[in-house]
Chain A
Amino acid sequence: MSVDRTPSRQGLALTGGTALLAAIAASLGGGFVALLGVPLALLGVRRTSRRVLAGGVFALFAGVVLAGVAEADPGIVLLAMVGTVLCWDVGENAISLAEQLRTSAGGRVETVHAAASALLAGGVAVSGYVVFLLSSGGQPGVALSLLVLGTVLVLLVLGE
């Protein structure tokens, strides 16, 4: 019998998958530093360390920013960002399960969680992309950024 904090295979696979998605998309846009994030995120989950996982996610995120600055296709930047936030979501969830359930972590609960998050993030991203394509004609760019910023701040303050 062992009670080690062992992350499940599902958790590792999901983290690796989402990180790979983010890294490949960011690299296509020119953010090659994101490739560093994949092994780092996997290591973080393997060692149930949120800090190491966050390090991996930051590397992925740096790739997203570089791709955005390099004026890559907005669709690719958006895809890379979806991968990055999902990587944090599934990775942190795998760590949390490993800490609370020890060796019996994994199974349906991780897959369902990842599926729900992916569906939501993907859906929101697609609708955002459609709005972006339709609106990139005339509206001032500042309006969108202020809108997004305002929303994020409201959500974060609600969480305090």
Chain B
Amino acid sequence: MSDARVPIPGEQRDRSLSSAALVTLAIAVVLVLVAAVFIAVPGLSPTLDLTFVIELLMALFALAAALTFTVRYLRGDHEQLDPPLIEYRSTTSVPGESLDASLVGARADSSAGLYRQIKDIRERLETLLEGALEQSGIAADAVEETIQSGEWTDDRIAASFFTPGQPFSTIERARLRATQIRPREVQARHAIDAIANRLSITDREWVDPDDRGDISAIEEGWVGRFEDVEFRDRETNRWRLVGALTLTVVGLGVLLRAPSLVLAAVPGTGLLAYRYLGSTPAPTLVVERTVDEDDPRPGEEVRVTVTVTNAGDGMAFDLRLLDGVPPGLGVVEGSPRHGTTLQPGAKTRFAYVVEADRGEHRFESPLVVARDPSGGIERTATVDAEGAQFLRCEPRPTQELSVPVRTQTSRDVGRVVTDSGGSGLEFHSVREYRSGDPMKRIDWNRAARGGGMATLQFREEHAATVVLLIDARDEAFVAPDRVSSSALERSLGAAAEVFVSRLDSDDRVGLAALAADDCWLAPGAGHGHWPLARRLLTTDSAFTETGGTKRFYPIVAMRRLRKKLPKNAQLVLFSPLCDDTAVWMARRLHAYGYPMTVVSPDPTTTVSPGRTATHLERQLRLSRLRRADVRVIDWEFDEPLAAATARATRRWSR
């Protein structure tokens, strides 16, 4: 197989040397024994033809060497570059995928690691179960008891995951052992299923706890970037096997006295010489990249065409090119890979299609794997591409969508209908006349009936100050599957819509990122304000890149934010809510007196146990926020935001 896990060369060599040494040792022992016999009984010693002895020894040596080469090759003493799967977005992850991998034990390398993983899963599910029980009205101090008694579910296997003891009968255990499934995994799956039932989340795609669900993680390679690739020249060792066949055929030819077999060694010898006469290829290439749409709309498909020219003097026999697809974009059609042979001056062209996501995406330099004509040596390098280096996709709000704001407003006139009476359009109340009230607001009907003077009050319409907070931490680069856009991408689109619609309603709107990189746009109004926001939403590093080595410190970020937030501001947070920090920040800010609305694009699915568990965790987070009087819009993956808003608004009508 290939070199996903590059073996330490010394390790391989040690093992093979020892097998070669064993063969040598065996031959030596036989020789010594034969010599001893001859010395003891000199009469047995034949009168040997020296040439015959040399022939025999050479043939045996050839066969032993051939065997060693074959075994070493088949054991994996060969390598080639294993390039990353650049077709997938390497910035996003799928919630629950790692939990699924832990469940089936795919990530543990030792039994101690396996034990630790099971322990982690158990703690995680126990927290989830505690949350579920508290939500269903069980007092906090009785929760632990309920879990230990196992009374929370009818499923004895699920209950046993959190208690000591063994739920399986001997037969069941034998069956599990035969299918190589660990009992703890089955228990964990049952537990997740039971917790989901407890939370009445029955609309699931994974329903059978005895089934592993759709855990198809990417098995066909690794997702990453070219910077994770090890650049060096590699010996592919692909001719080792031909060398072994050639040695065998000569050895057998000599041993069996078959001259035609000795002759048959000739083609293999020729190919081996071909390999060793070849040199490391160093092609001179010019790569040019063009995109067919400079200013794509979000979600539009963009065709990228790459032209490669051999600008050197020599023939490039074997070129394997991988274009540097931006890490944040996914390929939807065609392939960014191409294999070719180029004569000097010749050019070739290939194309693929990416789906445009909001933001400024930088292409990486293409990767070239060049081999010599025999394929024995492989050189890996990057070449700089000319032409398009960026794919820039700006958010384009349709201005049809808005998120309702709360009634905390400034004194400025606007369009948010408040609860305070005064001048306006919508009736609010009637109060006693005070001198100075405008004539047109006096309730003349009442005065005519002799009821005295009274003044009509209408609900005042004020402007709100709204700050849009976008969760752009690494935890927000999550998507329901490997080929979909991330939750952050959906957040950016929604934020752009809300920004423009609030500006149109004469509100003051600001923008901030919760990310390792600071990003802040002070609340403002008017037509000049949107271009500023659009630039930030498109190009700010907080939204286009994961943090990498930079860490996000929630307390520092909150302090920074509170210094900048105007006193009467209300907040709209866009976050997938895939971890507790997001909930903590939302509740904290709400408690500080900034009314909070959370728009949460849902990146979770229910196709497998691990993913279902993350789905349940997120549902509990949403309820915790709702209990803290935070308004939550749960935005499902395949749903327009307007529909999610309408659904959520019905819940708020109190």
Contact = CB atoms under 8 A, between A and B. Distances in A.
A41 interface: no
Given A69-B256, A152-B247, A108 B267 contact: no
A141 interface: yes
Contacts of B221: 3
A77 B339 contact: no
B253 interface: yes
A159 interface: yes
A148 to B, nearest CB: 5
B275 A159 contact: yes
Q: Give 5 nearest A-B pairs by CB, closest first.
A: A124-B270, A128-B266, A74-B260, A68-B261, A81-B264
A81 B269 CA distance: 11
A77 B256 CA distance: 15
A120 B271 contact: yes
A5 B339 contact: no
A145 B339 contact: no
Contacts of A103: 335
A148 B269 contact: yes
Interface string A110-132: 10110011001111110011001
Interface stretch (B235-243, B283-291, B401-409, B410-418): B235-243
Interface in B307-321: 317-320
Interface of A: 1, 3-5, 50-51, 54, 57, 61, 64-65, 67-69, 71-74, 77-78, 80-82, 84-85, 88-89, 92-93, 96-97, 99-110, 112-113, 116-117, 120-125, 128-129, 132, 136, 141-142, 144-146, 148-149, 151-153, 155-156, 158-159
Contacts of B256: 68-69
A151 B62 CA distance: 12
27 contacts: A64-B264, A65-B248, A68-B253, A77-B261, A81-B268, A85-B268, A88-B241, A92-B375, A100-B80, A100-B339, A100-B369, A102-B337, A104-B338, A105-B339, A107-B340, A112-B317, A112-B341, A113-B318, A113-B341, A128-B266, A142-B51, A145-B254, A152-B62, A152-B246, A155-B243, A155-B273, A159-B276
B250 interface: yes
A37 to B, nearest CB: 12
A71 B250 CA distance: 15
Interface band, chain B: 35 or more
Contacts of A148: 246, 250, 262, 265-266, 269
Contact of B258 (A50, A71, A89, A99): A71
Nearest to B78: A50
Nearest to A68: B261
Contacts of A82: 267
B242 A85 contact: yes
Contacts of A93: 238, 375
Contacts of B59: 145
A96 to B, nearest CB: 6
B264 A77 contact: yes
Interface of B: 1-2, 51, 54-55, 58-59, 62, 65, 69-70, 73-74, 78, 80-83, 85, 87-88, 220-221, 235-243, 245-254, 256-276, 317-320, 331-335, 337-341, 350, 369, 373-376, 483
Most chain-A Cβ atoms within 10 A of its Cβ — which of B88, B270, B373? Answer: B270
Contacts of A97: 320, 339
A93 B375 CA distance: 8
Contacts of B341: 108-109, 112-113
Contacts of A122: 267
A32 B59 CA distance: 25
B250 A85 contact: no
Given A121-B267, A124-B266, A68 B339 contact: no
Given A69-B258, A72-B260, A113-B373, A102 B55 contact: no
